[in-house]
Every structure is written in C-alpha cells, then in structure tokens.
Structure 1
C-alpha cells in the first residue's frame, strides 16, 4: 500500500505544507487527496512568496484585482490569498463533509507582524474568518505570550484555529488550556462546539538543528572518547523525544471530567500537528520526522519533497507511543550536558517570529513589485543613480530598516524611529489623504458655494506650509472655468501687498486666511488689511462673507473668524505640522476653491501612499528609498539637495525646499535644499551635491538630460522622478514627505520640530513691541555707510572682514565676505524686497555668478517668506552657510488697520530679527541695506558682487 495513505489506518492525517493557485486549479491537490488521502493544506508567507515571487502565475490575478480599484500590497495579497484559500477549501470540502468536520481543513496565517499584538491578532483573525467564509478554514495564530489570549478569545467566538510556532511542552499545555477555556466560553454562550476545530502545530526539525549545533560544539571540545560517544548518541533524538512527551501531555489533557463534559457537548480534541518535518541534516533519513511520530488523532504536515520521499520509501508503524521512557531519558541526558532545551525553544519562538516576518517582507515585496508593474504609468517612476559608495550605504540602510521593521514602526507612530522625543505627536499627515477623501462631500459643497458666489479671484493669506503648498497648486493647475483664479500672498513687503490688491478685484475676491496656530503675524496683518479693503468695497455687513479661515481648532484665528462672520471655518489636524499639511485642509481648501478635481487628485495620491505604506518593504518603497538616499548622501557630505523641477511643475521645488530645510536643518546637522539654480556642467559643482530631477512624462529636454548624464558620469548622485501628469502632483507631495521623514531618521534628528524658527520670531516680536511703544525701531549703526547702501554685521564678523581687506566701499566688504566661502559651503542671498519677476531675475543673476565663480551651492530667497522655510536650516543646520541679507528703503509704506506698525516696519523687524539670530549663532553674515530707488540699488549691488568675485 502507498505508505502515505497507510498513515490513515494508524490514525494520522497527512496535510500538505504547500499551496499555489495553479496547483489547485490544475487538479494536483485533488489528485493528492485521492491517491495519498491528503486531508488538509497549510500555507504561510514563505509558501505564498515562493508562489507569487518566482513565477508569473499571479500576474493576471493581481492585475484583475486592481481593476476594481487600487489596493495596498497587504490588501492585495489578502485578496488573492483569500481566493486561493477558498479554492483549496472547496476542493477539501468533500473530505470535511465525509469526516463530519474532523478534517479537511485549509490554514491561513494572520500577519506575522502581529505575533506580539493580541488585539491586532484577534481583529485580523476575525476578518480572515469572515472573508474566507468556509467552515473548513483554520486561522493560524502563533503560540507567543500575546498569541495565547488571542487563541482563547477566538476559540470562544467559534473560530477554528491552527496554533503555530509551538516548540516547548510547557507552552503546549498552555495552548491546550487556552483551547479548553475557549470552548467552555463558547458553550456557555450557547455555541455548538462540534463546529470548532483546532490543531497545535508542534515544530520538530528546528529543535534538532539547534540542539545538534550545540552538541557538535561540545563534541569538538570533549577529550574523553566515551563522553564524545554519549554526546553523539543524542544527535537527532531530542526533537522526537520532545514531541513524544508532548503527546503524553495531550493524552492527559483530553481525558478526565473537564474534557468529558465538553466532549458530551460535541467538542473535538485539539490534535497535535507535527510541523517542520522536512529533515534539515543530510545525516538523517529524509522521512525521519514522519516515521517516528505516527500516532492516533495526530496530523503530520509535510512539504511536497517529504511527501514524495515518504510515498517512495516510508515505513509505517505506530511509533509515537514507543519508548516513552527512553524519550524522557534523552531529555534528562541532554540537561546533563548543560544544554538548556527551554532556552532553545524560547529562542526558536523568537527566531520563528522573525523568520515569518522576514518571509512576509519578501512576500509583500513581491506583491508590491507586481502591483507597481501592473499599475504601470499610474505611479511616478523613480530611478536612483547614486554611485557605488552611496549605493552600498543605502543597501545597508535598506536591510537595517527591513530587519528592524522601521517603516512599520514609522507608520505605527513609534517615535524611537527618530530621537524619541515628541515625533509621535506629529504624524497625522501619514493618513491625511485617506481622511480628506472621506470629506469630499464637504469640499464639493464648498466648491459649489464658491462657484455660485461668482468670485473672480481667491487669495491665500498664509506663510510657509500654509502658503507654499497652495502656491504649487496655483502655479501648476490652469484656471478652471467658472472658478476664481488662485493667488497666494506670503509677504509683509508693502509693495507686494499693494500689488496683490491691484491684481485682483477686491469686490469679487475670496480671501483664505490660513494659519495653523492662528497667531502667526503675517497672515493676521494681511487679513486685517484686506478685511478693511473688502469692507470698503462691499460694506461691513458683507465683508465676512468674502473670507474663510483654515486653522487648528480653538485658535485665536477661529475666534476672530467667528466674530467677523467668516463664510466658513475649516479645521486643520493638530497632529500635522505646517510643512506636512498640503494634503490636509491647508492645501485642499484652496484647491477646492479653484475648482481642482480633488477626487482625482486624492485617488492618485493614495496610490503613492499605498506604495509607501507600512506593508511595503524598504527595497520596494519609493519614499523610503529616496529618503535613505538623501540621508546617506548627506552623511557622505553630499548635503546640498539640488532640486530640478521641469516647466510644468516649476514651483514644486519651493515647496520641497521648505519641507527639506525646515525638517532636517537643526542640531548642527541637515540637508540644504537648493531650488532654482540653472543646471550647469559638472565643472561648476563641488562634491557636496545630490540632484533630484522632477518632471512630467513627455517633458523631454535632450540638453537637460545630457547634462544630467554628464553629472552621473562625473560621480554625482542623481535621482530621476517622472510624474505621469500634473494630476499626479499629490503623489510627489507624499513621496517627499515620507522621504524627508526617513532622511531625518538617518541623520538622527527630529524632522517635525523647528526650534530655530521660533528664535527669529522672538526677536521680531521684541522689535515690533518696541515700535508699538515708542513709534520707532531701536537705532542701529552701520559698519560702513555710503550714498547707495549701508552695511551691517556684528562686531565679530566686522573684525574678521576688515582683516580680510574690507574697507570703506561695498565691493571690498563683499570681496572679503566671499573670500570666506570654502568648498562644501553654500551662499544664500536673503532679499527682503518685493518678490516679483524682475527681482527674481536679478537675484538669479547674482546667485549664478556666485555659483559659477566659487563653485558652491547657492540659494536665492525672499523675506519674510523664507523665515518659515529655509530659515530654520540657515540658523540651526550645519555651519556651512555664507549669508548676504539684502534690505531696502520702501518707496511707499502701507498702514495696517489696528496696528501702529506698518507693513514696512514689520518687514524691517523681521529682517533685523532674522539677521540677529544668524549673528547670534556665529554665522558668516553680512547685511546690505540699499538706499533710494530699489532698481538702481539692486543694479549697484549686482555690479559690486561681480567685481567682488573677480
């Protein structure tokens, strides 16, 4: 007789430790049921990974599953796994029916990531049970300390459980007790226990593998031949002895009054199942763990190779109850050697959890890869060319992040991923896209109201995170018919405020006052100014109807908005910091007002969210990979993240600049983002650059590509990202948010605070309060004064510059200042003037002259806008910045209602506060204050910079 089938007559069921879609569909499982009397099937992540990752068998099912909507890799795997389990369960259902529920089961494992999470295990097991909807399903739950109460609860709910990762007899007893207690609870609640089944999967070969290794160590050290012989005699015997004694426990546990009472109600005993029965040593017979563990009412789950071997030459006998006393002696003799079986089994449980998690990582990685392939152009493509050195460091970090479950920990808001301070309080942005999608009806209602009001313009009044995200949207998306044109104002420069007022029709403009805290100076004074202008245009009773507020609940802005009867108040999430808020009301309210299709934007964004999710291993996770590249490049000295944005998404760099600088530039560390530099030849760059090139599909530029290729060949790390279209903009917001958070972890900083931004605010507040009291800002003395300009710096900088040749003219000071620039530094031009096209071009001309001459990174920023952005990195990041602040007389100031200070005064206070912090931090800083006509003054400065560089 077929030895496999012969096991049936000895009371043992054979289950197959293998499952694949084609295996079931082609009838191979049915054949084994018929020829070998196979009575069950088990699955695990390693089995599924092999089936999914090593063939194209699942490509079509994955593509089909995605047709009904995008899914995360975990949800996608569960979708196809449930189908496979259902198909296998249906094939085994005749066995289940014939044996009246005693056998014919298929096992599906809860996520190995939940091995130490009781509540999570229970919830997932309940969901799997409900999803599969087959009476012959067993849900696999590990016998960890956290798994035991889950097992009891699930049995108590009438769910059949395969208890896995059992190694120790003591733990087996606890598992059986949990099963009995669960049954008693189920019966007490009126349940019929005849429908509940369970097996306790006792792992075998792994024990011998560990014991034999320790025995070999002792054999090698033993000098006495008889001692060597005694040690050798224990090899290959401990696992079987351990299992035999566990079976003796089984016989006692499922006998006696307690069990008989349950049995009378129809309960089934929890069978022992021998798992890990594939032989791991070539020294042993390949059918060892089947032949020596044959006994009544047990199960042996075997991999296909072991099944084939036993069918070919297996020997069948009632072996499980043989030589029980000898089994006891084997374990006693093992204890005498000093080898602790308890320590080994404890380690094996921990190692088993890790191995299953490792297998799950590979599984989800395989699913993530096939998902991305199937989605094709639905997700922005990313290609990293980092050079050998950084590539190796990223590979090391990738494995560290995988083995330490850091992406899952990040998503679970574990602050130890960073510095262990308060990072867990600032991670609401991770799920904001999901949350905002649930509020689409409210956004649509708001958009319809805006359209019905006939607004011609919508102006966001905000700073930093409240303004830069909406600005990208305003610059990227074309005006939608019937909706207002979207503008952003983030300046206290009187000329810029006045220009915005002239660019819109006040009487038909919607003003969106955006401030997370509600107490930020800039949006508040801008609101005061435009509220008065609107009141003049439409009357006091209607003015509030032209304003909406976006702010955190309970803020001072919310109170003002209620008092002034704003049309709407949208609440931000207090757990989302400003620079991470673009996919929250701070970005989506302006987008809705402008008629942007938020449903489309969010759906496409969520594809990237899923691609960067907790179930996507680091190697397949685009956000993590970009972040690891940025972080490791920074540690390698390539800390100038140069962002190159194509024409269609040209403003994206300004948003990314803020995100990266404010998140990473602190504690003397950080990445310095460089936005807006024209791409040059390799010769104009030092060895401190990391390039990120972002474009939309179809925006081909051969000249640009040739320069990127040349940079790559010269050894510069380059990341290329190609968005399918501008509609996929939200994907890049999220990719960069994840990447920045990951880079912060690599750098060892908290990417969610901004300690040095507050320092400038304090100095500004002191200056404005002084003005409110006295009517003037405190006097200051220039180090040099001329007809065209005054120069300011602190005593320390002044002394050093004078020693370097600075004398009585502007050019000499600039020359001395630029002489302080060394390789690896960056030069930042910080201009507190109107941000318009002409001034942007002028600053650009200046910076490019500096870059090309000094071969260092350059920044061209407008104040006070940059204070809520790159200002953090300039003050708190690495001391590699050389700063030239540019201020000027205002041709015409602008009063602020309810303030004594004007816009010009506040801007001046902000500039002086900013400069004061720079010098307090011993930064290399020089301030040029231009007098008279601004255009003429900038021309003088440009000429002086050119001369200073020569």
Structure 2
C-alpha cells in the first residue's frame, strides 16, 4: 500500500509526528482500513509503533475493496474450501474473522499496556440486519465468540432496531462500536442504551472494566448533504448578502454538530449516576469521529481531524487522511472552541429552512443502503471466486439472451438486489410473491440440508432393502411423487444388489398390466407415495397391488412389502399403520409435491434403488449455496434463470423449450411439471415444452425460450450448431452443462429456485394449483355418479363415425363447423388446427398407455404440427399430465389448442374393494379434464378412437397429416 511508505520517522526539519502527538491531547487515532497483506507484511504494526495507532475498524466497504478487488485472498479461499464447500457468507465471514483476529493480536500489546482502555479492532454485523434486533443480537454473539479476542468490538448501527440490540449486548459484556450515528438526539439514546446495558451487566455480576464502547459519530457525510442543500438555496437566493450568509455555512455544519454532541457526552458521563458506575470499574463510552475523509476538495484534507481534537475521543481515519495529517496536520485543543459559533451555525441552518434532523435521518437510511450495496459487491465477488475454485464440481450455466431480454434481466436483477429480494425469499417472506400463503410452502429451501442430517437413516434403510434381495421396486404416485423418482430411475444405472426402480403413474389398464408383467410380484417392494394420502391414482394402485402381493405371498405378509411416503396424519399414514407397512416416511407439510424431490418423496425411492443419497444431497447443497440468501441476483444462478424465464415470458417468449441430452433425457418431464404447475395460472404463465426434438431455427417463432441441459461428456456437434443458429436468430438460449449425472441434485434445486423466482416476476403464487383441483373436483363428480348408478353419465358426440367419435362443447363445435368440419375426421382436425396462430401451442393429450410405441406415434404427430404450423407442441399422456402441465393448460394463458385422445380399453382391470375399475377411473379423469378445458373457454377437441388402438392411432396420424396439407 503506497500510503504506508510515509509511516516513517519525520525529517529533522519537522521531527514531531502530529499523529502520535494526538495522544497528548487525549485523542486516540484509529485506522479505517484492513486487509490481509497489510497485517501479514507488518504494515499495521509499523503504524502502531510509529504513529501510536490504537485501533482498526472494518466494514463491508473495506472488505469489498480488500477481497473483491484483488487476488490477495484467493489462496485463503482455496484453503478454506479444501476443508469442504461452504456458503458464500461463511467464506467471507471466515476470512473476516481471521483478519480481525490477526489485527487484534497486533493491537493486543497496546490493549494490555492501556489496561483495556484502547487497542481495539471492530467487526461489523451484517448490514442486512440493520432493522432486525434479534438477528443483530444473535450475529453479534456468534461473532464475539468466533473471534474470541478481548480487544474486539462488534459494530452495530444506530438504527431504531439497533438501539435495543446495543443495550442487550452491553448487558452481556460484549464490547460494541455503534456506527452510522449522525444525530445528537440519537447519540443521547445510544449513550443511554450503553449506560442501561452496563447497569444490567453489573446487576448480573459482570465486571464492567472488561466492557468498552465507542459511539461512532459520522462527520463528512453531514457536510456533503448539508452543502448540497445550501447550494440549492444559494442558487435560489437573489440577495447577495443572503447568498454570502448561506455560503458561510458550508463546511461548518458537521463540525458544529459534532462539537455539540461532545457537550452531550460530557453531561452524560458526569454526575452521581455515572460516578456510581465508574466506581464499579465502568469506562465511559467514547465519542469516535467517523467518516473523517473530506469529500469536498475545496476543504483542507485534514479538516475533520484538526477541528475535532479533544480528550476522551477517537478519530478513525482512512489511509490518505492519516498520511495527510502526519505530513501537515496542525494540533490544538479544538473540540471545545467556539461553541457559541457552533450553535449559531445550526440555528442559521434551520433559519435557512434546512432540517438537520431530516438530513441525519436520511443519512442513516443511506448509510445502511451503502453498506448493503458494498456487502452485495463483496459477496458477489466471493461467489465468483468460489465458483472458479469449484470448477467442474458445479454445473455451468450460461445465458445467451436477446438484447431485450438481457436488458430486462439486468434491470430486474438490480431491482431485486436493491430490495434484498433474494434474502426475503430465503426468509420465507410471502411479499416476494402475492402476499397470500407462500410462506407456508417454502420448506424445500432447507430440505437438502435437513435431509443430509438424516442421511444415516437413509443408508440404514438402503442396507435393509438390499438385505431383502428384492428384484424390483415400484413407486405408486402421481405428479411430484412420481416424476422426480422417475428421473432417478431413468438416469442412474441399476445398482448391484438393489432392486430395479420402476414408476407407475397411470390408471390405464394396459400400462398397469405391462408393469406387472415386468416384475416378480413376490420379490417386489412397493412405495406408495402421496402427500395428502387421498390422491385417487396411488390409492387405486395401492389397493390393486396389495391384493396381488397378498395372493403371491400371503395376506399376513403383504403389508411388509409396502413402504409409505406421506405427510404426518394423512389417510395413507393411518392406512399404512393398519396394514402393517414395513416403514412409513413422513414428508414436510411445508413442501409441495413438485418441490419434493430432495425430500423423502425423492430420497426414499433413491435409497431403495441403491442411489447414493448422501452424494445426491451433497451435490444439491453445492447449488443451494450458489443460490443462497447472501448471493446477489447477478451472481445467483437459480435467480438468474428464474428472472430470465419470467421476464422472457412477460415479453411473449413463454414457451420454455427444454432440451435434455440422452443421459438425462427424463429430467425435462420433471422440469415440465415444476414450471407448468408453478407458473401457469390466473391467465398467466410459462408453457414448458419437453421432448420436442430440436429443429432448424426457421421452425420457431418469437415465443420460444430454450434451455439446453446436458452432461459434459455428451458432445453433439450437430446439436451445438443448431443451438448457435438459434442464438444467431435472436432466440434466448440457456446452456447448462453437468460434469456427470451424479450432480443432478444441483439441477433439481436450481430449477426449484428458478420456478419460484419466475412466479414472483409473473406476479402469481408459484405454490398453489387451483386448476388441478378443478379437474379433480369434476372427476369426483363423475365417479360419484358412477358409484350411484353403476355407469358414467351419458355424453353426446358432436359426430360419430366408423372408428371414431368426436366430442367438444357447443361453442367449439359451432366454431369448427364454420371452419369446414364435416363428417371426416381430417376435416375436424383441419378446422381445429387452423385455430393455432403464431404464439399459440398445440397439445396432444393422450389417455392411452405410455409406452415406446405410443410415444413414437405422438412424436410423429407433434412434429408434423410443429413443422407445418411453426408453433410449439406438447405431447402428454393422461392421467399423468393432470398433475403436471394440466395446471397451465387450464389456468395459464389462453394460447393452447388441445387435442385430447381417448380410446376403448380392450381389457379392463378391477380394483379390489371398489365398484370402479381402472378404465372407469381413467375415463372419468379424461372427461373431467376435458370438461374443465371447455368450461374455461379453451380451444379443445376430443377424438375417441374405437376398436383396435394401434390402427386407430395410425388413422389419427394420417388424418392429422391430411389436415395440415
């Protein structure tokens, strides 16, 4: 540091060192600067020896310059992370604590020599806690304990919420430096808080001799604010004499204010009450002059030292001011000079219509904001350093956005940073969204850490599963309970000695039979997964497979082959106990289904299949830390993705097209559910598009937002070329590269944060699903009718022909006939698909078994539509999608054109103990879904295929092709 070169003995011409001589006037000099090299190279000790320096202060601005603006701390960060990854806030705090400890050790001889009267180093609590009394107290206690140095002072701001914290900390024997103090009135409150704290400490048996405090009274900022208002008054004044009177006040207000505060100090620390405390060993709370570097170049650079010299005070100075005073500072006892003039300055300021109280109030608010801004910069710098050190251990995300979206994201990130929105999100503040019940659904934020604490239980459970030598494990669930486990089942290879993991989330009889044929029922463990315990599909599947297991191994043993995952107190919880399930895992009621993958709903299936749960969670925690509360929006990957998705959606790019590489191909289905259910409601939202193969840039309209996610070893030159073409065409493209499939936990959490943030941008509650509930209600109405009559209510097709029936509501039928729909299937499809305009999407909703053949059929149909109409397409299977994209289709923007596909089931399956069969449930779900679509005024058409399904799908494919000609 250049300024340190002047910390040397003065020349013979001027032997006296004004800095050291301040001690003879009763004033201590502290340095407002701290950096690691400054300590380790001995420069701090040089100032202590040569200048008689007696203290050091730090704040976020100081650490931001030291850590963020150089590589001085890089090796220290590397060393810390060799012990294990940690949060950005923790990394900074460890660095700060080490610096404070080393500085305190350098100053300890002075502290001991002065019997604890000086020799202090100050460390500030987080500026984010300025308005949080309890948070300030808790952090101050923690820092005091962590630093573990007697000559430490904890800095606490003089905000209204800071004052009770100050009193409490002093009452616990913690030395405090009160910062951001501008007002005489507030100074009196600060001093009274100190005195009250001392009294409590003594009353509880504490020795006050070990407690010290300074009240940091800020100076130059007052002149900057007052001078600005004076200049405005001068510009408005017409009388030259008035202009002169106003000009004479410039550069005088701060010193006058400080001098009068010192008079308050003399009164507060005198008299009988203080003498009693002093007799117990208490020390006065010294006034400390802070912000003493001049901001106005017209003023003498050492103005705020020379004019504020007096006994029992401290002046904390920046390096340049220290150099200046050492070189040309002039000494005199100035603090009590011209007190009447000081009073006249403040009176004249008031007469000019300028309120010093208003100035000081604003300066406190501004000071907190400046420290928050500095903390954001500091933590952002640490976040970038951490990410660089992690290297391939953290998934890489790059955003290539069109200029409009990029500008919007940058502006919104600035807004979020200024509002502290990321911290509010982590504090479960529902005002981030719609201020309704969002705070009750944020348990997923902390579930990875909480579940890691229970990792031993998952490992023990996995060992017990392996010991049973099961061949298969089947998850019976829907939505979040099935889609997350399905990603794990399809992404991770089968673990040796563990069962093969299957997921069943359908009421289609053929699909159920197919699963049953693929497993050994006598050697299979079933995982019944339902948060509420009342979800139709898993309950029906549970009853069916319980009977099948009982038949295979005996009714008395059947329950032992079942595991339940449900919320405490649910109907499934009670049923599992009644049937003697082998184990019940309880979920967190504050985690919704689509956010539950890193909770028991995802981890129990993972452990069952022998997937390393500890590794999955530790990987997820890497992203949790990257998206943490203290990571500013610009450096927060989950927030960046969420802002980009939400803002692009608001600008019309609302078709979030997910391109997942082969190794993680099923991730898109999970992300599809998360995005659709979280954002598609109130006529707003994002429409996720999964499984649509990437085409040429010419096939896409300006409503697309692409997310490409792959593992690092999956190189695909042709795919990359198409992505570059999309970018060149102006489409926003997000690229996410995972080092390996083992890091998929990172992506679960990144997308959860992104969905929550996108919901905030869109102005909706991302944790409810009102339109999913609407479809469930309508389905229950239909099944209730069946329970009463033994049949579903009749329905009248718009047209019935050989091989197919067509259903829709009267309004849709009228519109389609006007467009030429007649007796041919292709005419109805032509009329229907003609309604898809640029910016719309077409969704194929098939209530048939989800298998490779049927997936292929739907893919051919969707691609024909996409390539001809140049609109986004979705290919979904029911009832699975009802708990996924169904929310967005019914509640999101009215941009969907829906083709529901139903068919006759050649063979039904009965459900033990129920009147309804699986075919009846599926039919009711399809009709309930369709009814809600049409009631919402959606463009919806249902084609019911009669007879052989394979030939029916082939005819439908051909009809779509002809309709698109």
| TM-score, scaled to structure 2 | 0.98
Residues 1:661 and 2:676 aligned together: yes
2:657 to 639, 642, 649: 642
Whole-angstrom distance in 2 between the partners of 1:118 and 1:302: 29
Match of 1:184 among 193, 199, 216: 199
One of 197, 221, 224 as aligned partner of 1:206: 221
1:340 maps to 355
Separation in structure 1 between the aligned mates of residue 119 and residue 86 of structure 2, nearest angstrom: 31
What is the alpha-carbon distance in structure 2 between the residues aligned to residue 812 and residue 473 of structure 1? 43
Deviation at 1:636, TM superposition (A): 1.0
**Which residue of structure 2 lines up, in the alignment, with residue 878 of structure 1?**
893
Normalised to the residue count of structure 1, the TM-score between the two structures is 1.00
1:234 aligned counterpart, secondary structure: coil
CA distance in 1, matches of 2:280, 2:185: 27
- Answering whether residue 777 of structure 2 is matched by residue 777 of structure 1, we say no
For residues 740-755 of structure 1, what are the structure 2 equivalents within 5 Å?
Answer: 740-755=755-770
In the alignment, structure 1 residue 903 sits paired with structure 2 residue 886 = no
Residue 11 (structure 2) aligns with: none
Equivalent residues in 2 for 1:412-431, closer than 5 Å: 412-431=427-446
Q: For 1:210 and 1:81, how far apart are their aligned partners in 2? A: 31
Distance 1:686 1:895 in 2: 47
Conserved? CA contact 1:640–1:689, under 8 Å: yes
From 492, 500, 510, the counterpart of 2:525 = 510
Task: Say whether residues 1:583 and 2:620 are aligned partners.
Answer: no
What's the counterpart of residue 148 of structure 1?
Answer: 163
Q: Which residues of structure 2 form unaligned runs of 5+?
A: 1-15
C-alpha deviation, 1:449, in angstroms? 1.3
Partner of residue 826, structure 2: 811
Give the corresponding residue for 2:847: 832
Secondary structure of the residue that 2:525 maps to in structure 1? strand
Q: Give the aligned partner of residue 315 of structure 1.
A: 330
Shift, 1:862, TM fit: 0.1
Aligned residue for 2:266?
A: 251
Establish whether residue 120 from structure 1 lines up as the match of residue 135 from structure 2.
yes
Q: What CA distance in whole angstroms lies between the structure 2 residues aligned with 1:641 and 1:407?
A: 23
**Match 1:304 to one of 319, 327, 333:** 319
1:657 CA drift (Å): 0.1
CA distance in 2 between counterparts of 1:185 and 1:919 reads: 70
Three-state SS of the structure 1 residue aligned to 2:333 is: coil
- Report what 1:471 is aligned to: 486
SS at match of 1:128: helix
2:522 paired with 1:491 = no
Match of 1:35 in 2: 50
Q: Distance in 2 between matches of 1:422 and 1:156?
A: 39
2:607 — aligned with what? 592
Matched residue of 2:54: which SS? strand
Which of residues 400, 404, 420 in structure 1 aligns to 2:419? Answer: 404
What is the 5 A alignment of 1:76-225? 76-225=91-240
Deviation of 1:324 (Å)? 1.0
- Give the distance between the partners of 1:173 and 1:798, measured in 2 at CA: 79
Match of 2:247 among 214, 232, 256: 232
**1:395 pairs with 2:430:** no
User: 1:932: how far off?
Assistant: 0.6
1:555 aligns with 2:555: no
| Structure 1: runs of 5 or more not aligned | none
Q: CA deviation at 1:793?
A: 0.5
**Contact kept in structure 2, 1:16 and 1:303, CA below 8 Å:** yes
User: Out of 370, 379, 384, which is 2:394 matched to?
Assistant: 379
**What is the distance in 1 between the residues matched to 2:845 and 2:300?**
77
- How far the C-alpha of 1:257 sits from its partner, in A, is 1.1
Map of 1:796-945 to 2, 5 A cutoff?
A: 796-945=811-960
CA RMSD of aligned residues (A): 0.6
Q: CA deviation at 1:859?
A: 0.2
- State the Cα deviation string for residues 83-131 of structure 1 (Å, max 9, x = none): 0000101111111111111111000000000001111000000000000
* Pairwise CA distance, 1:72: 0.6
Q: Provide the C-alpha distance between the structure 2 equivalents of 1:385 and 1:244, rounded to a whole number of angstroms.
A: 57
**Residues 672-711 of structure 1 mapped to structure 2, 5 A cutoff:** 672-711=687-726
Is contact 1:784–1:809 with CA below 8 Å preserved after alignment?
no
Matched, 1:621 2:665: no
Whole-angstrom CA distance in 1 between matches of 2:320 and 2:505:
69
The alignment partner of 1:38 has SS state of coil
In the TM superposition, what are the counterparts of 1:273-312 in structure 2 within 5 Å? Answer: 273-312=288-327
Post-superposition Cα deviations, 1:227-277, rounded to whole Å, max 9, x if no partner, equal 111111111111000000000111111111111111111111110000000
**1:441 Cα deviation from its structure 2 partner:** 1.6
Q: Is the 8 A contact 1:458 1:485 kept in 2?
A: yes
Q: Which residue of 1 aligns with 2:744?
A: 729
Residue aligning to 2:68: 53
Tell me how far apart the structure 2 counterparts of residues 25 and 556 of structure 1 sit (CA, whole Å).
Answer: 64
Distance 2:141 2:774 in 1: 52
Deviation of the 1:612 alpha carbon: 0.2
Taking the aligned partners of 1:380 and 1:745, their CA distance within structure 2 comes to 24
The whole-number CA distance in structure 2 between the counterparts of 1:390 and 1:680 is 23
Most deviating of 259-268 and 574-583: 259-268
The ranges of structure 1 where at least 4 consecutive aligned residues each deviate by more than 6 angstroms after the TM superposition are: none
Give the distance between the partners of 2:64 and 2:180, measured in 1 at CA: 19
Instruction: Provide the rounded CA distance (Å) in 2 between the counterparts of 1:36 and 1:387.
Output: 57
268, 280, 283: which is aligned to 2:283? Answer: 268
Per-residue deviation, 1:69: 1.1
Query: Does structure 2 conserve the Cα–Cα contact (< 8 Å) formed by 1:552 and 1:572?
Result: yes
Q: Classify the secondary structure of the residue corresponding to 1:331.
A: helix
Residue 707 of structure 1 and its aligned partner are, at CA, apart by 0.3
Cα offset, 1:33, TM superposition: 0.8
Which of the numbers 752, 764, 787 marks the counterpart of 2:779?
A: 764
What is the deviation of 1:190?
1.2
Any idea what SS the aligned residue of 1:613 has?
Answer: coil
- C-alpha separation in 1, matches of 2:803 and 2:320: 88
Report deviation, 1:421: 1.0
Q: Is the 8 A contact 1:461 1:526 kept in 2?
A: yes
* Cα distance in structure 2, aligned partners of 1:504 and 1:293: 86
Aligned-pair distance for 1:225? 1.2
Q: Using the TM superposition, give the Cα deviation of residue 335 of structure 1 relative to its aligned residue in structure 2, in angstroms.
A: 1.1
Alignment-derived partner of residue 582 in structure 2: 567
Cα displacement (A) at 1:511: 0.4
CA offsets per residue over residues 422-480 of structure 1, 9 Å max, x none?
Answer: 11111110001011011112111211111111111110000001000000000001111
CA distance in 2, matches of 1:12, 1:549: 71
**CA shift for structure 1 position 543:** 0.3
* 457-466 vs 371-380, greater mean Cα deviation: 371-380
Match 1:65 to one of 68, 80, 89: 80
Q: Secondary structure at the match of 2:528?
A: strand
Distance in 2 between residues matched to 1:168 and 1:706, nearest whole Å: 63
Greater displacement, 517-526 / 441-450: 441-450
Cα distance in 1, alignment partners of residues 249 and 955 from structure 2? 91
1:328 aligns with 2:343: yes
Distance 1:554 1:600 in 2: 30
How far did 1:153 drift? Answer: 0.7
2:624 match: 609
Secondary structure at the counterpart of residue 446 of structure 2 = helix
Look up the SS of the partner of 1:884 in the other structure. Answer: strand
Please name the residue that 1:671 is paired with. 686
